[in-house]
Amino acid sequence: MEGIVKAFSGVRALDGVDFDVCAGEVHALIGENGAGKSTLMNVLAGRFGDYQGRIIFDGRDVRITHPRQALDMGVAVIYQELSVLENFTVAENIMLGRELVGRWSRRIDRSFIRDEARKIIEHLQFDLDVDEPVAEMSTARQCLVEIASAIGRNVRVLVFDEPTAALGAEDVDKLFTVIGELKDRGLGIVYISHRLAELPRIADRVSVLRDARMVGTRKMADCSMSDLTGMMLGRDLSDIFPARTNQPGELLLEVRGLTEPGVFEDISFDLRAGEILGIAGLVGSGRTEIARAIFGARHASGSVKFKGDLLHRRAPHRSLAAGIGMVQEGRKTFGNITGRTVRENITVSILDKLSGAMAFASPGRIRTNAAEMIDRMAVDPPSGEMSIENLSGGNQQKVIVGRWLAAGPEVLIFDEPTQGIDVGTKKQMYKIIADLAAAGRAIILISSELIELTELADRILIIRNGRLTGERPGGQIEEDQLFELCLGESESE
């Protein structure tokens, strides 16, 4: 792709972008929200035919103006929102559009569909049953169905757009194995992701888009996380992360021997008021499960003490009552109350505090408290009446964090608080976390963006395969060194 230009209502979403992918490689494409990543791939996939510039495919100049044309050429995109038909079987999805119809009966030949789908599945060595209804499958296995469908069309370039956003750790590992096998078969893979920590595991090269322009392309082996972050942001990191002003004080939280068999084992640490404790680990290391167990959202043996008192029968409502809150990973799954307004979402944790003598929440108090928190969190637009789904991802995250701040916990767990939000909102989120710690709140911070841990945390725990394998001081370790510790490749653990 050379000099690609695409505009929407006169505003350029792509401004002279060059990009290429070779057979047998994984080329990562990264950038902040709105940088143009998905737009560029949609041009390649034929969804936008009114682009300017050249596309050269297999040495030939081509003009791609329709998705069917792109598919026929051998270009397919696996989007974050999968396009499988859930009411169809695996075989029917794989062979969709390529069915064989009887010459006289004009009926679809079901045996042909099942036989051809089985050949493709066996070729890829996927663990799929051709007769299984797709609706009964996990997201990861549905993704395999889409891949099988693309391979059945003799795809040569396969684009993954945020493929791990909705996957658990085990499914991410399986997907990476599949991508590696497809690469070995000679496919060109384009991999789009916000999760920079994934890239060293999967990518050969990485290209960075910023403000609709291509900033540069590098070999993944030659890049550190700070290199990529700097290219994406276009500014020095000191402009993004706030100065450290917090001072760790009294002991608030004591975790001893926390264990969930097969998930994590013997996790012990302390947390002090005014301290930011980072938890680093690869996806699947057990870091989120540990945090959820502390909050009481998972059952685990071991003990958790808050201000010296043992928390019995841990559960989220008991943790909140004690003074522990958690902003969980995944806005759609664990954060938003869909179909409700911003006001309802931001005040749901304090309805009991806003209730009058008859135990009914006062509408006036709800409006006042919601307006104050919306202003504090700089929610844009600042409307309590708006449905939560109509806000951008970053503003939805502000509402969720505001909900927990309203509850006033002394210990607050942040699990991937900046996932999928743009740099401006990230900067605001960093300041919120730093201000909370400076005010004496204790923070546990989990992030796949390791630079967030190195720049914000006072201490960093390293979790690998469900075990606590080390601890490092924040601000004194580079993110590539921290990544090596998470991988277990460092000699100084």
Q: Is the pLDDT score of 201 beyond 60?
A: yes
Q: Distance between CA 197 and CA 172 in Å, rounded? A: 13
Cα distances from 210 to residues 19, 30, 236, 335, 408, in angstroms, run 13, 9, 15, 29, 37
Q: In which band, very low, low, confident or very high, does the pLDDT at 127 lie, cut at 50, 70 and 90?
A: confident
Neighbour count for residue 262 (Cβ, 10 Å): 8
Report yes or no: 464 and 282 within 8 Å, Cβ to Cβ: yes
The Cα–Cα gap between 163 and 80 comes to 5
Mean pLDDT lowest among 34-38, 308-312, 358-362, 430-434: 358-362
Question: Residue range 481-486: average pLDDT?
Answer: 86
C-beta of residue 84 within 8 angstroms of C-beta of residue 135:
no
- 278-306 burial, b if ≥16 CB within 10 A, otherwise e? bbbbbbbbbbbbbbbbbbbbbebebebeb
Lowest-confidence range among 32-41, 187-196, 351-360? Answer: 351-360
Q: What pLDDT, on a 0 to 100 scale, did the predictor assign at position 261?
A: 94
Token readout for 314 is: 């841990």
Q: Is residue 268 pLDDT above 80, yes or no?
A: yes
Where residue 330 falls (left for φ over 0; alpha for ψ -120 to 50; beta otherwise) is: left
For residues 302 and 257, the answer to whether their CB atoms sit within 8 Å is: yes
Asked if residue 339 has pLDDT above 70, the reply is no
Q: What mean pLDDT comes out for the span 307-316?
A: 93
On whether the CB atoms of residues 415 and 463 are closer than 8 A, the answer is no
Domains of the chain: 2-236 (3.40.50.300), 251-487 (3.40.50.300)
pLDDT higher than 70, residue 169: no
Residue at 358: amino acid letter: M
Average pLDDT, the chain: 85
Euclidean distance between CA atoms 259 and 115, whole angstroms: 47
DSSP 392: -
Which pLDDT score is estimated for 360?
Answer: 59
Q: What pLDDT is recorded for position 299?
A: 94
pLDDT tens-digit readout, 135-147:
888 877 888 888 8
Dihedral angle at the C-alpha atoms of 431, 278, 195, 6, nearest 10 degrees?
10
CA angle 297, 302, 305 (to 5 degrees): 80
For residue 251, what pLDDT band results from cuts at 50, 70 and 90? very high
Segment 465-477 shows an average pLDDT of 92
Q: Rounded to two decimals, what is the model's pTM?
A: 0.64
pLDDT of residue 491: 47
Higher pLDDT, 472 or 161: 472
Q: Tell whether the model's pLDDT for residue 284 goes beyond 80.
A: no
Q: What is the pLDDT of residues 88-102, one digit of tens each?
A: 999 998 888 776 665
More confident residue, 278 or 427: 278
Which element (helix H / strand E) includes 161? strand 157-161
User: Rounded distance, CA 178 to CA 172, Å?
Assistant: 10
pLDDT of 219 above 90: yes
245 and 434 Cβ atoms separated by less than 8 Å:
yes
Q: Would you state the pLDDT for residue 235?
A: 66
Q: CA-CA distance, 451 to 449, in Å (whole number)?
A: 5
pLDDT digits (tens, 9 = 90+) for 225-242: 778 878 887 766 667 889
CB 413 within 8 A of CB 291: yes
